[in-house]
Copies of this chain bind each other. A is one copy, B any other.
């Protein structure tokens, strides 16, 4: 293996220029203490020798890393992909670095990740919690170390910090009502967690719509998916088989949509004639499914961007107080052909 090259240091620059280390340091950070001509000389040499400062030495000294930690359950979901885009857009603009971690919906992994953040590796954290996460000790521990942490999408109500979310309850209510108006008298709600903030709120919206429209709520219309794709699929099939006419489905997350299409195909049920479907989804291909899927589409990029902006603001300004409440960016109900005209 190639030997690691002896990297350029400020000390070497100082040597070449006949200046002191501190002067060079100040010149590089464009301090007002330094004369224009010295800055010029320093910067010329920096350019010429292609000097790149060691960020870790700087971090050690200044106690900040210009790095934010992003913790998400998975990447292979359009929502999170777009949210990362939003986060990255502000990171790139503001000169921050993005460390990414996947919890894979697992609480222990999430804990381990946050534990590491107590080291000072990151200046702040953006998190969308795992499905399994019901406690917040790991988050509290981090906050105790004064590491700002902002939730996005999947939040914990019990923790007092900024939360960037969409109008989960209201958009689920709207979608459910839409299904009712289109003639569904039985509506299945597909979920994949009892505890996640987003599924609770979306379920609440679903319930509210039923109530508003004088339909009775029944537990057996709620399907909670496990992680066992096969088992989940069979459950869905069973429900669909036993359902009468005029059934609707509201899928509370993107990945639940495709199994519905699969099940309908296998059972020879046609969408939307036999079953109408609406799903939370940010996937581009929703419009090209057969039939095109009516979706609740979340402002994923915006959510990521807003969360990151807020975090960076908190980090930059000594006096900026992290707003402790929720910021809600509404979703869109996009009507396509999986619901009746």
Contact = CB atoms under 8 A, between A and B. Distances in A.
Best-surrounded residue of A54, A100, A118, A288 (most CB of chain B within 10 A): A288
A98 interface: yes
Nearest to A95: B116
Contacts of A54: 60, 119-120
A213 interface: no
Contacts of A262: 288
Q: Which interface class (under 10, 10 to 19, 20 to 34, 35 or more) fits A?
A: 35 or more
Interface string A223-248: 00000000000000000000000000
Interface stretch (A3-11, A173-181, A195-203): A3-11
Given A5-B146, A60-B57, A146-B2, A88 B115 contact: no
A319 to B, nearest CB: 7
A314 interface: yes
A56 B65 contact: yes
Contacts of A120: 7, 54-56
Interface in A37-95: 50, 52-57, 59-60, 63, 65, 67, 74-78, 81-82, 84-85, 88, 92
30 contacts: A1-B321, A3-B146, A4-B145, A4-B146, A7-B120, A50-B141, A52-B119, A55-B120, A55-B121, A56-B59, A56-B60, A56-B65, A76-B85, A77-B81, A81-B81, A92-B101, A98-B99, A98-B100, A98-B101, A99-B99, A99-B100, A258-B285, A258-B288, A261-B288, A262-B288, A285-B285, A285-B288, A285-B289, A289-B290, A290-B291
Interface of A: 1-5, 7, 50, 52-57, 59-60, 63, 65, 67, 74-78, 81-82, 84-85, 88, 92, 97-102, 109, 115-116, 118-121, 141, 144-146, 258, 261-262, 283-291, 314, 318-322
